[in-house]
Amino acid sequence: MDCCTFCTAASYNIKSLFETLRTRFPCNWYRDVVHVEMPLENGLSDIFYFSYGTVVCWNLSLEQGFKLIEHLKAFEQQPLDEIESDAFTFSYGPVAKFVEDELTLPDTSALTKLAASQGLSQSVKLGAFESSLLKTYNQTKYLPEELAKRGRIPLSRSQIRKKMGELFIERNSITLHIHALASPDFFWEYPEFEKLYLMIVNELDIKDRTEVLNHRLDVVRELFEMLGSELNHQHSSRLEWTIIWLIILEVVLTLLRDVFRLI
């Protein structure tokens, strides 16, 4: 069977989403997660909406999932330019395991799927962060290269300010929502399901990927500081040249007045 995951926004207005969905489908509320049982031709699909902008769909193909998330636009806060998605297959068996994108669940309960969804949801959220930072890196990697090659950054003061603003927004958009990658509070209430969650976290390398993400955020911070230093340097250089030209003007005026008696 198919399982697909999506990250479409920084967050959802989860309460409004819950109130809307409950008028059409059976719904449950688990802290900041909404669970919907959606009837299909071949049975039921369990859909989990997470407040931090992700959706996990069980027994739903990737194509069906993309159609499903179209209704989310009214509830999205800071929607992404490009939707992040992933797809797996799953089945049921006596022992939970996760091998080569094939997940085996020990039973069909909603809580089991929710526990698994916590890890799958974090992975697709992390993927959205990774894609965003990669885009930023590709757009700015020439700046330190130019600084190393030419000793200066080929941007005007206004362009540097604009680039600094973009980097600040990018970094903040991630750091303000990175709490989504922490261990969910759900497992304080249901500790018996944490083992399944940790298995998925390990299989999807979420811990290592989070460390790499934090390192890349540090790189963005350093780039921001580098641009700030370049801006200060340009300002200081401009002041120095202004002072130099004022001194030259004063010398010329003095020569014209005292030596050539022209003024």
Compute CA distances 169 → 35, 132, 166, whole Å.
32, 12, 5
- Total number of domains in the chain: 1
What is the tens place of the pLDDT at every residue in 133-145?
A: 888 888 888 777 8
Evaluate whether residue 250 is within a structural domain: no
What is the tens place of the pLDDT at every residue in 65-78?
A: 999 999 999 999 99
252 pLDDT above the threshold of 70: no
Question: 49-60 burial string, b = 16+ CB within 10 Å, else e?
Answer: bbbbbbbbbbbb
DSSP the chain: -EEEEEEEEEEE-HHHHHHHHTTTS-EEEETTEEEEEEEETTEEEEEEEETTTEEEEES--HHHHHHHGGGGGGGEEEEEEEEEEEEEEEEE-SS-EEETTEEEES---HHHHHHHHHHHHHHHHHHHHHHHHHHHHHHHTHHHHHHHHHSS-S--HHHHHHHHHHHHHHHHHHHTTGGGGSPPTHHHH-GGGHHHHHHHHHHTTHHHHHHHHHHHHHHHHHHHHHHHHHHHHHHHHHHHHHHHHHHHHHHHHHIIIIIS---
170 pLDDT above the threshold of 60: yes
Evaluate whether residue 247 is within a structural domain: no
Interhelix angle 157-175/206-254, nearest 10 degrees: 160
Evaluate whether residue 241 is within a structural domain: no
Record the pTM: 0.83
Evaluate whether residue 162 is within a structural domain: yes
Evaluate whether residue 136 is within a structural domain: yes
Evaluate whether residue 258 is within a structural domain: no
Grade residue 255 by pLDDT with cuts at 50, 70 and 90: low
Q: pLDDT value at position 83?
A: 97
Which of the residue ranges 157-166, 180-189, 240-249, 250-259 would you say has the lowest mean pLDDT? 250-259
Question: 205-243 burial string, b = 16+ CB within 10 Å, else e?
Answer: ebeebbeebeebbeebeebbebbeebbeebeeeeeeeee
Q: Which range marks the domain in which residue 139 is found?
A: 1-230
- Residue of 256, 258, 188, 181 lying closest to 217 (CA atoms): 181
Evaluate whether residue 238 is within a structural domain: no
128 pLDDT above the threshold of 90: yes
